[in-house]
Structure 1
């Protein structure tokens, strides 16, 4: 949805506030670009615009456009996969990002199968550590964005955010947002109706939560970066060697 006056003012008032931070948005729609536009991407683009407007360097990946091997190792080619785009195209951006936002549609009340693949590939790096001996994702923040035509935003966000915090991401307050249409067949987010209006664009609730999520992710990421991440006290693998 086009950003409104409140969101534009927030960007103008904080134009350089978060410069130096990097964010990565991964869209786990099941549709590659060649097949169709993504309703989930439509929503994610608003959060991306907010962050870019506040000085964050933003990257975007659409998982369905790539060949990501199944598995829980950093490079599945070492275990026989013929192709695996994860280590060369995804991991460098994940590793560099202070903020990771995973977007997914809802299918049968759950996140997409590609969303699970991304979570599993993130988990593949859980054995890696930073210089302090902490898990490699310590000091990073995570969020979730969800679209669909059935109930499940909170359930899907819960699954994603639990997984992210379990492997080391910090989850700030209100770190998720989403939009769902009426139960059953109907327009998806951003679809244009006969009246010329786009489904979901008039949702103040979605717009507000998207703004809260975006700024809370930036605030938390900046606080962590300014303070050297999570203190390495009682959470370092070095103490257990």
Structure 2
């Protein structure tokens, strides 16, 4: 039995409806899959960027912390250097004050004479030469000649069992700015023992510097040795 035009049109519409249904379902499937892939990719990108941001800020935080440590170290070092400079300035002022007081020693003839006696005799012992020359301030020549050399030569001879010839330099004297004391030379003047009051103060300051620092600033907890 032959199909009428109406039947053909009906079958065509049915087939078209089926195809459209299939196409619609396929589109929905593609859309769902695309949405799923989009969400997965979006999540991956977000996570990747989140990790990068965390790493970036972690690096920045470490840099800031390191910068703070460097600044603190610099400030600590600057403070330590300032303390050391202030301490050195205080010691320098103390030594300058001591130097100024040296001039008072020579104003007491009895004590100054006894001091010179020890300085002259020490110079003899340090040189141990048969001939020596003493240089002193011009104002001290008589005291050194009369009261010291004649007294110290017998003491020296008895102590070392050797003779010694002593003379005072009458051409060159110690500067009048020197507070006192003497210099002793061997015969050719290549060896000198400086026993001026200023020199003795410097030697004493060097020897007593650890004790001076402890008395002024207290013991250093980081110092392992005291000599």
Please indicate, yes or no, whether the TM-score normalized by the shorter chain is above 0.5.
no
TM-score by length of 2: 0.22
TM-score by length of 1: 0.22
Which structure carries more strand by proportion?
1
> Which structure has the greater CA radius of gyration?
2
